[in-house]
Structure 1
Amino acid sequence: MNTLKAMLLGTLLAAPTLAVADHITVTGEGQVAAAPDMATLMLGVTAQGATATEAMQANATQLTAVMDRLKAAGIADADIQTTGLQLNPNWTQAENQARRIDGYTADNMLTVRLRKIDGLGEVLDTVVADGANTLNGISFDLADPKPLMDEARKRAVEDAKDRARQLAEAAGVQLGGIESIIEGGGAQGPVPMFRMEASAATPVAGGEVTRSAQVTITFDIPDAT
């Protein structure tokens, strides 16, 4: 009997001790949407010529007219930037003959910021009429995204608190103070669609832009043992 008691006591002493976590860690998310007030265009001119010089000169003539039109529309010099310039030979090859150069193509791309998007469709139409024949995309954003981002952070924190309260209630414990906060996220939402149709002015749908925030918060559980 004494031997049996000794064996049971040894087994109990060797069993692992169960510890209760003394904190809850949750991740909260917040997102806010607003109408954009700024657009960025990527447009340019592609021109051809029999020689490299002719191609570059034709391109320069058309691009100068496009840039003059942009400035006449109230776009500042600081919002017009050359972001691509290329000059390439046009290769051709007849049957049983060596390749040869048949003229040149000059490409010049601009990135243009429009801080007033009400007349965006008209701007597109006029620059195309003046020689812009390449459009590589359009995106929308906010000139000052900070207020939207601030609100997204607040919503993320509230979401984290709400999740922590639900977990604590489900676990039957009291929720204590905040031990740590780690921020993440901040991604921009989907880019709105760009539509072109036959009309007096190219219709452009600005849609909405979003800012999202993510926070990971660790809460204390004061009664955990």
Structure 2
Amino acid sequence: MRRLASVLPLLMPSAVIAQTGEDARPRIIVSSAATIPSPPDRAVVSFSVHGEGTTSDEAVRAMVAKRDVIEKGLASISAGSDIRAAQMGIAEVRGRECNRNTYGNPRLSTGECAIIGYTADIQMEVRTAAVNEAGTMVSLAGRLGATNPRIDRFFLAEDKEIRRRGVAQALAEAKLQAEAIARASGVRLGGVLSVSNLNFNGPGPYDDIVVTAQHASAPPPPPPPPPVAVGLKPRAIETQVKVQVVYAIQP
């Protein structure tokens, strides 16, 4: 399936072209675009993992243990997923009274501002080919204790062949339009003088299909039931190609 944008014909008078110092040969210029929808074959799921403890080591150990459980669960859905860490941080926790101090002032770790614990947080990103299971992965990550699990985007791992098809379709449409313009103008269409690739508008870095899930505690033994299946079918990725073709007019 394709959608072709309207073609913009333009007959260039030789007298006008000559005044600009450009090629004075009569010509027909047409612009054409082709859009090819394709189902995405990759999804990006992201989530955060939170850990707490009275020491920084305890907070990190809690975070790592929770992360390992989540990663193991996600691997049961998509074993070939690429799971990477994006950011990690450790924060000191002080009492409520310390938070009433003016923002930005230095604080000693004594008295009301004594450190009472630590938090550790890590941002994770999962790239998977299990596109239709991405929603189920979000659901399971939320059950296993992930914070704000979500689908960030869908995309195509490779779109070169799709772009080539788009160029071919756009050029074919441009020729049809140039022939129609030539017939209506009473001139004979000549050969191609030049072809310009105006732009490639492929899948963007972000897709606005987003699924979120709230934080949920992992259920106690016996083993939890299967994750809630979302049955997600993402929308197509639209790859757009635009070309401009300049045809000669035969004398």
TM-score by length of 1: 0.75
Name 2:219's counterpart in structure 1: none
Question: How far, CA to CA, are the matches of 2:180 and 2:173 in structure 1?
Answer: 11
Q: Give the CA deviation at 1:52.
A: 2.6
Q: Does 1:37 align with 2:41?
A: yes
Name the stretch that deviates more: 116-125 or 18-27.
Answer: 18-27
SS in 2 for 1:221: strand
Name 2:152's counterpart in structure 1: 138
Q: Give the CA deviation at 1:159.
A: 2.7
Q: Does 1:48 align with 2:26?
A: no
Name 1:193's counterpart in structure 2: 209
Name the stretch that deviates more: 51-60 or 25-34.
Answer: 51-60
Q: Structure 1 residues 103 and 24 mapped into 2: Cα distance closer, same or farther (>3 Å)?
A: farther
Query: How many pairs does the alignment contain?
Result: 206
Name 2:142's counterpart in structure 1: 128
In the TM superposition, what whole-angstrom CA distance separates every residue of 1:162-205 from its partner, at most 9, and x where no partner exists? 33234434443222111222224222357352345899434534
In the TM superposition, what whole-angstrom CA distance separates every residue of 1:75-134 from its partner, at most 9, and x where no partner exists? 336x22212222233564236897445643322122212212233333222222222113
For 1:1-225, list aligned pairs within 5 A.
21-76=25-80, 79-90=82-93, 92-94=98-100, 99=107, 100=113, 103-135=117-149, 137-189=151-203, 191=207, 193-195=209-211, 200-202=228-230, 204-223=232-251
Question: How far, CA to CA, are the matches of 1:74 and 1:135 in structure 2?
Answer: 16
**Counterpart residue identity of residue 106, structure 1:** A
Question: How far, CA to CA, are the matches of 2:86 and 2:170 in structure 1?
Answer: 37
SS in 2 for 1:73: coil
Q: Percent identity?
A: 22
Larger Rg: 1
Question: How far, CA to CA, are the matches of 1:136 and 1:124 in structure 2?
Answer: 6
Misfit runs of 4+, over 6 Å: none
Q: Which sections of structure 2, spanning at least 5 residues, go unmatched?
A: 1-14, 19-23, 108-112, 215-226
Q: Give the CA deviation at 1:156.
A: 1.5
Native 8 Å contact 1:196 1:203 kept in 2: no
Native 8 Å contact 2:150 2:213 kept in 1: no
Question: How far, CA to CA, are the matches of 2:232 and 2:32 in structure 1?
Answer: 35
In the TM superposition, what whole-angstrom CA distance separates every residue of 1:5-28 from its partner, at most 9, and x where no partner exists? xxxxxxxxxxxx775642223222
In the TM superposition, what whole-angstrom CA distance separates every residue of 1:39-59 from its partner, at most 9, and x where no partner exists? 111222133334332322221
TM-score by length of 2: 0.68
Name 1:12's counterpart in structure 2: none
Q: Structure 1 residues 71 and 86 mapped into 2: Cα distance closer, same or farther (>3 Å)?
A: same
